[in-house]
Amino acid sequence: MQRILVLGGGVGGTLSANLLVKKLRTRIERGDVSVTVVDATGEHVYQPGFMYIAMGGEREQNLRRAERGLLDPRAQLVVGQAVRIDDDRRTVELADGTRLVYDYLVLATGSRILPEAIPHFDAEAHHFYTPEAARRLRRALDAFKGGRIVIGIAGMPYKCPPAPLEVAFLIDSELRQRRLRDKTEMHFCSPIGRVFTIESVSEMATPVFAEKGIEVHTFFNVEEIDPANKVVRSLEGEELPYDLLILVPPHKGAQVVIDSGLAPGSGWLPTDRETLQVKVAPDKPDGTPSPRRPHMYALGDATDLPLSKAGSTAHFEAPVVAERIAAQVRGAEPEAKAGTYTGRVMCFFEIGGGKATVLQFDYNHPPHPPKPNRFWHLGKIAFNKAYWFTVPKGRV
Ligand SMILES: Cc1cc2nc3c(=O)[nH]c(=O)nc-3n(C[C@H](O)[C@H](O)[C@H](O)COP(=O)(O)OP(=O)(O)OC[C@H]3O[C@@H](n4cnc5c(N)ncnc54)[C@H](O)[C@@H]3O)c2cc1C
């Protein structure tokens, strides 16, 4: 019996498990191979919908489904929190003391937000990275009658890089409709020297900020929130007063990978950019590559790859992980193209006013976002609905 253990039942974990079952069906039915997903909650959450709780009428119950219903019946599901991975013994320990043994391990544990890393964040700043926070932001926007809105990013990397820009553009549109835009100053703060990490996207988005009259502050790394004076200060020494503060919280990888010594510090797993195998350590600064763990893979938000932390990234990585593990189980070489991740990502990007664009890129081809239009906005809305029937099940 060869045991494949998948930690995390989000986009990456669910899709990898379902694709592995497709590829290894006969062996699983014979009892030679098992595929088991371990998930802390047993619920699959569609996180892109959180933004639409804050920015539209989306309801939380539409964004959650039982993981069991999304997994192929041939895959097993264990609901429990993984607390320790012992790769020498090839075991994963759960919080209730259960020990699961693996031959192959897929780490799809996503990322965590840490608002508590910045004093006064919870009391002063709004965000939309949980349903509760998104509802609270919606209430604050409903009560807003004009003033200064500051939108920023309190730590890199974070999930869905376009999201804070989209929120700035959507709030601008909403305030115009509510005839409050004249009474509102809007500010957008970016921790780097431009509004978006990828240059071509920054070139597309910078004029949109200008057209909408949203003032951009680059090199603004949030250092302190001062609730008494209602100002947010940057490491670089800038100070911005706010009436409504919206900040993407700092992120880290899963605690279990930190505690197990696989990704000390940040929790972002050192991952081979093409094979998606987890490396023993990050590559040396002089470029000397670190050895890979041949039986351990990472995908989605959990990796340290210099790509968007996006469901779309996990979506395009999962087939590579499934191809490689299935080949290893069969004692064969993976098919070269199917077993190589090219860095492919595709993300919709709302611009406001019922328009959006799309970012499509890979390691070698930067995105060239088309002129924003209604088609891509409707595409994003349709994708949000179609997600449950397509992505986790491996139908696209
Ligand atoms: C507001 C918002 C908007 C977004 N918009 C987009 C968008 O438009 N497009 C896009 O592509 N992406 C978007 N994303 C990002 C996307 O949701 C994530 O990148 C994606 O979910 C990552 O998939 P994943 O499988 O790596 O992790 P997740 O989907 O987060 O799944 C991780 C799973 O691991 C489980 N887990 C974690 N630790 C443990 C443990 N110790 N033991 C057991 N289980 C564990 C969790 O319970 C969870 O089920 C958005 C995210 C947010 C928050």
Q: Which ligand 1 atom sits closest to the C-alpha of 51?
A: 1
Q: Which ligand 1 atom sits closest to the C-alpha of 310?
A: 19
Q: How far apart are CA 174 and CA 203, in angstroms?
A: 24
* Distance from the alpha carbon of residue 8 to the mean position of ligand 1, in angstroms: 9
Q: How far apart are CA 13 and CA 34, in angstroms?
A: 15
**What would the pLDDT profile of 338-383 be if each residue is shown by its tens digit?**
999 999 999 999 999 999 999 999 999 999 999 999 999 999 999 9
Ligand 1 mutation target, pool 6, 11, 102, most atoms within 8 A of CB: 11
The residue whose CA is least distant from atom 15 of ligand 1 is: 310
Residue 77 Cβ inside 6 Å of ligand 1? The answer reads no
- Cα angle, residue 104 at apex, residues 99 and 107 outer, rounded to 5°: 80
* Distance from the alpha carbon of residue 282 to the mean position of ligand 1, in angstroms: 23
Q: How far apart are CA 360 and CA 368, in angstroms?
A: 7
Q: Which ligand 1 atom sits closest to the C-alpha of 50?
A: 1
| Sheet (strand 147-153) strand order | 125-126, 244-248, 147-153, 184-189, 214-217
* Distance from the alpha carbon of residue 38 to the mean position of ligand 1, in angstroms: 15
Residue 14 Cβ inside 6 Å of ligand 1? The answer reads no
* Distance from the alpha carbon of residue 278 to the mean position of ligand 1, in angstroms: 19
pTM exceeds cut of 0.95: yes
Q: Domain 114-249: what homologous superfamily?
A: FAD/NAD(P)-binding domain (3.50.50.60)
Look at residue 396 in the predicted model and tell me its pLDDT.
74
Q: Could you tell me the CA-to-CA distances from 94 to 39, 50, 256, 260, 381 in Å, in that order?
A: 10, 29, 10, 13, 37
Q: Which ligand 1 atom sits closest to the C-alpha of 302?
A: 26
Residue 50 Cβ inside 6 Å of ligand 1? The answer reads yes
The residue whose CA is least distant from atom 6 of ligand 1 is: 48
Question: Are β-strands 147-153 and 244-248 bridged in parallel, bridged antiparallel, or unpaired?
Answer: parallel
Q: Which of 190, 196, 208 is nearest to 162 (CA)?
A: 196
Residue 129 Cβ inside 6 Å of ligand 1? The answer reads yes
Q: What is the DSSP-derived secondary structure letter of residue 290?
A: P
Where, residue-wise, is CATH 3.50.50.60 in the chain? 2-110+254-330, 114-249
Q: Are 106 and 325 in contact (CB under 8 A)?
A: yes
Q: Which ligand 1 atom sits closest to the C-alpha of 67?
A: 49
Ligand 1 mutation target, pool 159, 247, 276, 387, most atoms within 8 A of CB: 159
What sign results for the dihedral spanned by CA atoms 123, 128, 131, 134?
positive
Q: How far apart are CA 31 and CA 2, in angstroms?
A: 9
- Within 8 A by CB and 6+ apart from 1, the residues are 31, 32, 33, 34
Q: Which ligand 1 atom sits closest to the C-alpha of 134?
A: 1
**Which stretches of the chain drop beneath a pLDDT of 50?**
none
Residue 82 Cβ inside 6 Å of ligand 1? The answer reads yes
State whether residue 72 is helix, strand or coil: coil
Residue 300 Cβ inside 6 Å of ligand 1? The answer reads yes
Residue 276 Cβ inside 6 Å of ligand 1? The answer reads no
Residue 245 Cβ inside 6 Å of ligand 1? The answer reads no
The residue whose CA is least distant from atom 27 of ligand 1 is: 110
Residue 104 Cβ inside 6 Å of ligand 1? The answer reads no
* Distance from the alpha carbon of residue 10 to the mean position of ligand 1, in angstroms: 6
> Which architecture characterizes domain 2-110+254-330 according to CATH?
3-Layer(bba) Sandwich (3.50)
